[in-house]
Structure 1
């Protein structure tokens, strides 16, 4: 019997994100949730990553823990988790399950859920690549369906063939991938593992990387090739789907597509507005060459970090405590949270 994505009671985590998944139909046949990993060192440095095994930063750990709190607050119970062979996604998975108290479920790791290969771009600063090749070209490399970046030379310092985890599959390591290539390998995993798991009644957590998740969501939502260039995904914000007997998305509670991307029938547990803010920031971080500051390291980063520390109950900087608590109270009031929930952050 399938475990539903139902809320259990009225308590929510103190992240101040709006509750987006209330009043779920408990008879939903199938449920799946996608989460992109938390910030890694190369996300922080604005570099193309691909299959390079970059670890989570301290901020990335916080992002993953907050994602776990969102999921724990929603009442979701997972039967299995699936992720890539890359430690940024593996650790994000572990942190999410720890926050949910669900470390006991099986976690399956597979290279078919790895991020797409960015070829010769791996290791380069994204904004510097935009300055060199232009915004339109870089956007096509990053987001189009069938235009891969320039291929990686076999002697590239970050070539996966030097990584022992791939020693038995050297012939399958891509030198560069388009989303089309990524979708072809993720399709195998969906057909062989994910779809059978869903049909057996399991509620699944998929923790991965932006482009691999885009390939899965493209398939799930039947997004057209010419439209997929417009789909971006934020880090560490759970995207939950209720699926029908054909594994097609059921409508959201409001009957609309999400406001953050305008393309999805899934529900962002962080709320559409929060996702839109993150995507706008990420777009500027890559494409707006008039902004010299690294937006992953600025004042907004410090505020976010301190606020998330409060959200998960970590000690915060005394000088920031009063402002942060006032901010959380204000957000809670704006989201019409009950009196008991307000007391939990006092």
Structure 2
């Protein structure tokens, strides 16, 4: 069966004139569930997040008859676990997975570990939304007094991060710049015919969308990515250009509700 899929994949790559790229935000993490800023803290998936990886992400990918030759993910466990669940449900655990620190979530600095509503009560909702969505706004840098500081700094999953590039906080702009080198790798694979899934984080998906669509700084600030909903792009392999706008896979009402939930401060 694996050999058959491999041969079919190679034939498909030889004949194809277009190729699709799928971007996906990981399932709900335990910090998402508690409405906390997570960033580079290595929060695991919640039980609901595991279910969504199976019943939302994998099921919609299967219903769309999508298959993959390679998966890119971050070094954070919430993205990696989501990837593992999806590939297992799709009976595609043989597909190679490349993890990269450049696909880690944006570093939320000293907001890490704090509830978004509580931060809004302390700093004002306008300021917190500015930190969350404005392209060049950076939250306060994380300090050793933050309870998650040393866990982040000493996480062995970040051993490949150059010392001079290890962030203490990031703006969306900084995250977008950090993602660009690995986006070049992803695009090269995709234009060479590999069917690629990128399973990563909300802000990183937004950064990739900005690069793919050439969105303005203001436009990307209005984009919100729900957990576990596949975002599909189709490209002309010869020209490298987009053929059509991004489409979501799944129930439109569910996607609308989840997108509004992500956009809000929450409780």
Q: Same fold (TM over 0.5)?
A: yes
- Relative to its length, the structure with more helix (as a share) is 2
Contact 2:16–2:193, Cα closer than 8 Å, also in 1: no
SS at match of 1:220: helix
Residues 153/201 of structure 1: CA separation in 2 closer, same or farther (3 Å cut): same
1:117 paired residue among 107, 123, 146:
107
Following superposition of structure 1 onto structure 2, how do residues 1-346 of structure 1 map, counting pairs within 5 Å? 3=12, 28-66=17-55, 67-159=57-149, 160-167=152-159, 169=161, 170-191=163-184, 193-244=185-236, 245-251=238-244, 265-284=245-264, 286-287=265-266
How far is 1:144 from its partner? 1.3
Residues 281/79 of structure 1: CA separation in 2 closer, same or farther (3 Å cut): same
> What TM-score results when the alignment is normalised by the length of structure 1?
0.69
Distance 2:12 2:34 in 1: 39
SS at match of 2:179: helix
> What TM-score results when the alignment is normalised by the length of structure 2?
0.89
Distance 2:145 2:164 in 1: 15
Moved over 6 A (4+): none
Distance 1:246 1:137 in 2: 42
Distance 1:112 1:145 in 2: 18
Measured against aligned partners, the alpha-carbon deviations of 1:101-132 in whole angstroms (never above 9, x if no partner) come to: 11111000010000000001000000111122
Across the aligned residues of Structure 1 and Structure 2, the Cα RMSD in angstroms comes to: 1.8
Measured against aligned partners, the alpha-carbon deviations of 1:247-302 in whole angstroms (never above 9, x if no partner) come to: 33222xxxxxxxxxxxxx21111143321111223344x15xxxxxx5xxxxxxxx
Q: Which runs of 5+ in 1 are unaligned?
A: 5-25, 252-264, 288-293, 295-346
Number of aligned residue pairs: give it.
252
Distance 1:165 1:281 in 2: 30
Higher RCO (CA-CA < 8 Å; seq separation 6+): 2
Distance 2:126 2:11 in 1: 44
